[in-house]
Structure 1
Amino acid sequence: MECRGESSVSKQDQSSYPETMTANAEAVRKVAEAVQGTLGPKGLDTMLVKDDGGVIVTNDGVTILNRMEIHHPVAQMIVGIANAQQEEVGDGTTTATLLAAALVEEGVKQVNRGVPVAKVIVGIRRGVRFALDKMQNMAQMIRHLNDEWLHRIAYTAGREREDITELVMEAATSIGREKLLERDFRLSDAVMAHPRARGSIFHGLLLSRGRVNMRLSDVKEHVRVAVMAGDLHPELVNEDALATEAGFAKHEELKQTFEQMVRKLIELEVGLVVVEGNVDTDAIDALTDAGILVAENVKRADIDQLADYTGACVLRRAGLKRSLAELEPLIGFCEEVEDDPLLGWLKIKGKKDQSVATIVISATTKEVADEQERIAKDAAAAVQAAVRGGFLPGGGAAELALAREVEKYGNTVQGMESFGVSAVAQALCRPIAQMVANAGFNPLEKVEEVKALQWKRSTYSLGIDCDRGVVCDMVDMGVIDPLPVKYHALQTAGEVSTAILRIHTVVKMRNTEAESLR
């Protein structure tokens, strides 16, 4: 799908605000259409096709939005919602996208009725704030990691894959509640998938090792670890300078200095050197002769994770100029290192008191492995979010109940801002309506049926069983979602939708880079 923006200033200058707003709303709608069919238990997959014929088959909203071709600037703002949702809670990207699209659509309807856009925006903000407060009051907390509700959350987010659910729950239990509550820790980062791996939990760190200088015949125990950013090679002298006697002398001096730096790693009795970039061949030979395992071309994210896990300080080449006494506290430690050449991983076990677990997901092909990894990451993120913030009924039931509350709140709002509040109430009906449609039922009929029963029974947990099309209690069915996922989705959707509605015109900027080259 392709969403294109205006290509000239003059064309936009002729446009009135309503025309610009309608064009923006249409761009948002097209983006939402690309992911809405994936929502819910009956949602289907999307095939993304590359220029070279390669394909990705997925129902992960953020993957679809980041890979699809999008040119319209407002449509790009919707992609930003998905990325923000993914970054914050790791799940709920499709819901956030649909809510934003629905808020824009409902807001445009109110403006077309004659409501001033400023009043609509203020009303949307008030409605969203009210809904967020109500949402927090509705949530039930997770008190312990063996809570059955937590298992159900993993099962739902894991696309009802029991094998993935069990692995995620085992990892969460192994890591512990306190670790899951840490602000900077993300359980989803502990997920790795490989076509030749067996599904399991590895109680340690798996490092995609890049190239290594030698194969370990067995496990290396009690290993001191040096972690290096950048390349590990001598400083270079300009080629022109090498032709001079002074330049050649400088080259030899730098080479000797580098050899001394490498010698320090040996004297520190380091057993593993992990380098972000490339390693000089002479350095590799010297380290290999000393029995030191060298892994080069390792991702920076893995470098940082290894440093944190082993207690090492990330060094740059110049850092090796320090004295041995200064370098000593900067070296990390792990209990074991094992090289797995088949999978291309280094298996690293840290201190026994460290709670770290890696979730290994198996698959048949590289493409399947990528999708399985995305699913497991969603499940892991959902579990961690539920531990942090509790849970709500899933299946769009909670949003529909909130819609009813927001609608009642709108009746108390005086003035034209009430129309903006009404837009929020209508938008909150969108998730359940889309799930029902994806299941093959009439969304208008089913949503009204659920609405009536929720009001009659004074409950917010009723939704639609997407297998049978009947009204059921989502909590009784085990269909629940983490509060942080829903909360952040609505919060972000509210912020971005009002930003879009405020756009008066779209103007293409001149190319200042091209002008500077003239």
Structure 2
Amino acid sequence: MSLKQVSENSEVDERLAALINNAGAVRAISTAVEGTIGPKGLDTMLVDKYGNVVITNAGVTILDLMEVSHPAAKMLINVAKAQHQEIGDGTTTATLMAGALITQGVEQVMKGVPVARIIEGMRIAAQEVLQVFHHQSKNITDVHDPVLKQVALVAGREHEDIAQLVVQAAVLIGKEKLLEPGFKLADTICSTLGAENQVFSGVILNKERMNRQMITRLDQVGILIIDDALEPEELEDEALSTEAGFNRYLTLRQEFEDHVRKIGALGVNLVLTDRGINDLAEEIFLDLGIMAVERVSHKELRRVAEHTGARMIKRSGLKKESSELKNYLGWAGQVQEDEKLGQIFIKNGRGKSMATIQVGASTEEVVGERERIAKDAAAAVQVAVQGGVLPGGGAIELAALREVEGKRSQVRGMAAYGMDCVAEALKKPFSQIVANAGFNPLEKLGDVVAAQTEGNTSSLAINCDTGGVEDMFALGVIDPALVKIHAFQAAREVAEAILRIDTIIKMKTEENIEI
């Protein structure tokens, strides 16, 4: 690499060297995940310096955990993470396509094509690609549509039990809930070592009751949620040293006891608090047969409140009249603690319908991976309901490829070379899926393109078991349209950003920055 010294504290890479360097880093990231894509993709083992092991074929997990220092590589990883946060799936596809776009873009630059023309061509081609994706997508009108099961199977890496759980949860929640912008089906998933797979209407608290002598199961449960500590008002030590201060202490303690007993008189069976519960309150709850759970996370409290119809209250709110406090209570059909798992199940609340998916496994390594698989499947099912579905297996990308190649002849000037970059990127997911299945990508690419052209269809690709050309919809290889759309857009955006980097300058260290 050629370096030019411009000052005592900075170094500059020449333009071409910077592009080549960035492209090499991006290729390395793309290579790290390419072996995981498709039904025949393999797993990756990640090991940290302490010997801790994670085994996965989830692209986002690999990218998140791998050690990376190159700035261009970090840009690509951040885009993949953004794809996962926004859509929940498609990170490997986005990474592969970005890698191909950047590699092809750098090759065109080395041949003398200006970056501006390459980006212009990419944008023209992108319009054609997105038009194909939108036009070919098929809407999901009902959560009972069997297509959702296939979507869950593909995103869930053929785990039948997980796909079944996710679809059951989608049916339980309903289409209206899945369409809510702030709701994520993937957030309803929890994984527990030694647990049984299940889906139920309710929520799980990863907590135990505060006293082992408290009841473990309740039916027809009144619930009070205190977004605060349940403790008497405190006085300064100096105040307690005086008679008036000590009398004030006794008064406050009596008021606190009255408030706690008022809770029992309201018909409350379960008390949840954000912080600690005083010993006196614990004793009273034990006497009254009330289950109490302290130090529940605010996120979990919100979910319980939403499901049970409860309104969270501060401890100062306990001063309200009983008739007023009743408006804050929630209700659930059943509350039960699983002492083996250390969890509390709150089921059949009167508030909003809410499903919880519990995924179990026999070892720590496996349970973590099964949770990741379930979250991918859940995210895919939700975005399929939101934006429809497309044929998978790289079929829709090859259909878009045909449109891009047809449009190329109408584009004059060097922008056509930018369209070539997009064309090569569109081949990448299909080629890698086929290669991972043990077939020749070039041969199969030609077979599929010819078959799609002859049949004027966009759903043909390769059966990774037989190597034959088949209809992906009929085969059950189905992807959410939004996954494809966002993956392509993310890949193009990061490719443009990296190709536009003309110079790399090493910044001053903090101690050399003048203040």
Same fold (TM over 0.5): yes
Match of 2:391 in 1: 393
Q: Partners in 2 of 1:99 and 1:407 — Cα distance?
A: 17
Match of 2:52 in 1: 54
Match of 2:342 in 1: 344
5+ residue gaps, structure 2? 1-5
Match of 2:87 in 1: 89
Q: Partners in 2 of 1:152 and 1:114 — Cα distance?
A: 46
Give the residue type in structure 2 aligned to 1:417: A
Moved more, 223-232 or 160-169: 223-232
Find the residue that maps to 1:468 and give its secondary structure.
coil
Moved more, 36-45 or 338-347: 338-347
Are residues 172 and 323 of structure 1, via their aligned partners in 2, closer, same or farther at CA, if it must alter by over 3 Å? same
Q: Do the aligned residues in 1 keep the contact of 2:271 with 2:290 (CA within 8 Å)? A: yes
Give the residue type in structure 1 aligned to 2:20: T
Q: Partners in 1 of 2:511 and 2:12 — Cα distance?
A: 27
Residue 211 of structure 2 corresponds to residue 219 of structure 1: no
Find the residue that maps to 1:414 and give its secondary structure.
coil
Moved more, 379-388 or 412-421: 412-421
Residue 489 of structure 2 corresponds to residue 491 of structure 1: yes
Residue 425 of structure 2 corresponds to residue 427 of structure 1: yes
Match of 2:62 in 1: 64
Give the residue type in structure 2 aligned to 1:477: L
Backbone CA RMSD of aligned residues: 3.2
- Correspondence for 1:356 among 343, 354, 357: 354
Are residues 391 and 231 of structure 1, via their aligned partners in 2, closer, same or farther at CA, if it must alter by over 3 Å? same
Match of 2:293 in 1: 295
Q: Partners in 1 of 2:295 and 2:48 — Cα distance?
A: 27
Are residues 294 and 465 of structure 1, via their aligned partners in 2, closer, same or farther at CA, if it must alter by over 3 Å? same
Cα drift, residue 31 of structure 1: 1.6
Are residues 404 and 347 of structure 1, via their aligned partners in 2, closer, same or farther at CA, if it must alter by over 3 Å? same
- Correspondence for 2:379 among 378, 381, 391: 381
Give the residue type in structure 2 aligned to 1:416: M
Match of 2:3 in 1: none
Q: Partners in 2 of 1:61 and 1:191 — Cα distance?
A: 19
Q: Partners in 1 of 2:414 and 2:231 — Cα distance?
A: 68
- Correspondence for 2:437 among 402, 419, 439: 439
Q: Do the aligned residues in 1 keep the contact of 2:259 with 2:318 (CA within 8 Å)? A: yes
Match runs of 1:154-233 below 5 Å = 154-210=152-208, 212-214=210-212, 217=215, 219-229=217-227, 231-233=229-231
- Correspondence for 1:30 among 1, 25, 28: 28
Match of 1:329 in 2: 327
Q: Partners in 1 of 2:509 and 2:255 — Cα distance?
A: 47
Cα drift, residue 267 of structure 1: 5.2
Give the residue type in structure 2 aligned to 1:449: D
Q: Partners in 1 of 2:387 and 2:170 — Cα distance?
A: 15
Cα drift, residue 96 of structure 1: 1.6
Q: Do the aligned residues in 2 keep the contact of 1:272 with 1:294 (CA within 8 Å)? A: yes
Percent of paired sites with the same residue: 46
Find the residue that maps to 1:201 and give its secondary structure.
strand
Cα shift readout 1:445-464 (whole Å, capped 9, x = no counterpart): 32233223222332211212
Q: Partners in 1 of 2:53 and 2:111 — Cα distance?
A: 44
Are residues 352 and 418 of structure 1, via their aligned partners in 2, closer, same or farther at CA, if it must alter by over 3 Å? same
Cα drift, residue 375 of structure 1: 1.3
Are residues 117 and 173 of structure 1, via their aligned partners in 2, closer, same or farther at CA, if it must alter by over 3 Å? same
Cα shift readout 1:351-408 (whole Å, capped 9, x = no counterpart): 4685332222231112211111211222222222222222111111111111121222
Q: Do the aligned residues in 2 keep the contact of 1:29 with 1:101 (CA within 8 Å)? A: yes
Find the residue that maps to 1:14 and give its secondary structure.
strand
Q: Partners in 1 of 2:117 and 2:228 — Cα distance?
A: 53
Q: Do the aligned residues in 2 keep the contact of 1:389 with 1:482 (CA within 8 Å)? A: yes
Give the residue type in structure 1 aligned to 2:289: G
Match of 2:309 in 1: 311
Are residues 219 and 514 of structure 1, via their aligned partners in 2, closer, same or farther at CA, if it must alter by over 3 Å? farther
5+ residue gaps, structure 1? 1-7
Q: Do the aligned residues in 2 keep the contact of 1:171 with 1:201 (CA within 8 Å)? A: yes
Q: Do the aligned residues in 1 keep the contact of 2:305 with 2:312 (CA within 8 Å)? A: yes
Q: Do the aligned residues in 2 keep the contact of 1:82 with 1:97 (CA within 8 Å)? A: yes
Match runs of 1:10-25 below 5 Å = 13-25=11-23
Cα drift, residue 44 of structure 1: 0.5
Give the residue type in structure 2 aligned to 1:457: G
Cα drift, residue 117 of structure 1: 1.6
Q: Partners in 2 of 1:434 and 1:364 — Cα distance?
A: 32
Moved more, 228-237 or 150-159: 228-237
Give the residue type in structure 2 aligned to 1:54: N
Q: TM-score, normalization: structure 1? A: 0.88
Match of 1:476 in 2: 474
Are residues 116 and 315 of structure 1, via their aligned partners in 2, closer, same or farther at CA, if it must alter by over 3 Å? farther
Match of 1:142 in 2: 140
Are residues 404 and 246 of structure 1, via their aligned partners in 2, closer, same or farther at CA, if it must alter by over 3 Å? farther
Match of 1:5 in 2: none
* Pairs aligned (count): 510
Are residues 116 and 11 of structure 1, via their aligned partners in 2, closer, same or farther at CA, if it must alter by over 3 Å? farther
Find the residue that maps to 1:388 and give its secondary structure.
helix
Q: Partners in 1 of 2:275 and 2:261 — Cα distance?
A: 19
Cα drift, residue 269 of structure 1: 4.0
Cα drift, residue 344 of structure 1: 1.6
Are residues 322 and 477 of structure 1, via their aligned partners in 2, closer, same or farther at CA, if it must alter by over 3 Å? same
Q: Partners in 2 of 1:228 and 1:510 — Cα distance?
A: 51
Q: Do the aligned residues in 2 keep the contact of 1:216 with 1:338 (CA within 8 Å)? A: no
Cα drift, residue 46 of structure 1: 0.8
Cα shift readout 1:284-305 (whole Å, capped 9, x = no counterpart): 3343344332223333332221
Q: Do the aligned residues in 2 keep the contact of 1:214 with 1:293 (CA within 8 Å)? A: no
Cα shift readout 1:103-145 (whole Å, capped 9, x = no counterpart): 2222222222222222322332332233112201011222333
Match runs of 1:440-479 below 5 Å = 440-479=438-477
Q: Partners in 2 of 1:253 and 1:17 — Cα distance?
A: 77
Q: Partners in 2 of 1:500 and 1:212 — Cα distance?
A: 54
Find the residue that maps to 1:284 and give its secondary structure.
helix
Match of 1:406 in 2: 404
Match of 1:365 in 2: 363
